[in-house]
Amino acid sequence: MPDASPALPGAVLFDFDGTLADSYPAITASVNFIRSRYGLAPLTVAEVKPFVGHGPENLLEHTVPGCNPPADGQAYRAHHPEVMYESTSLFPGVSGALSKLAALRVRLGICSNKPRRFTVALLEHFGVAPLFSVILGPEDVAAAKPAPDMLIAAGERLGLDRDRLLYVGDMRVDLQTARAAGVRVWLVPTGSDSRADLIASGPDRLIDRIADIPDLLTGSDLTRPVSPESSQ
């Protein structure tokens, strides 16, 4: 496929949970499955949500007191397919935005700390997997986010320099990852971190929703820094 116009990024890379998809009910269900093995009461989505984004073992360390992260991480992964299809949904407008970006000849990728097989299965379930040129998870690199490895690997696989990439996420860890990789980053307040925390972290832009990306890319200055006033 030919590269996009020089005015556009060559590729837009996305985080998954909290960015493209509301995965929190499914993640909470699997956390509560592990908690039940320890005789612990279930947590709410709101109680689990702040700890999503750093991989299952880290998630369980923060939500299941006394857990065994390697063993319980394995049990979490075994349980998750039982709940992830029914309890995960793309955010409104995501599918259309991805199609519009593909029509603009912008290549698409995923760089997420979610296990890759879950991301691939869900993208296939939602019918958008063919739109993606590269899908990476923590098992594909030496170090997961906030290390820059996934973004660097995605650029290499796509044959694109880092200044041709845009990364879109929902957490400060996504900004840290992008900065470490030397990649432009936009954040969306639909995930684990608050809007105020995202603004304070200093992304290149704070956007309201993924559905806005095609219009923003074709009609505005990509380098305008975010400010609290311009992000309201």
Q: Catalytic residue numbers?
A: 15
> CB of 214 within 8 A of CB of 100?
yes
End-to-end CA distance of the chain: 37
The two three-digit tokens of residue 54, written as one number: 């750093």
Distance CA 209, CA 211 (A): 5
Sign of CA dihedral 57, 61, 65, 66: positive
Fill in the amino acid letter for 210: I
Question: Collapsing DSSP states into helix, strand and coil, what is residue 170?
Answer: coil
Sign of CA dihedral 116, 177, 17, 223: negative
> CB of 97 within 8 A of CB of 210?
yes
For the beta carbon of residue 225, count every other beta carbon within 10 angstroms: 11
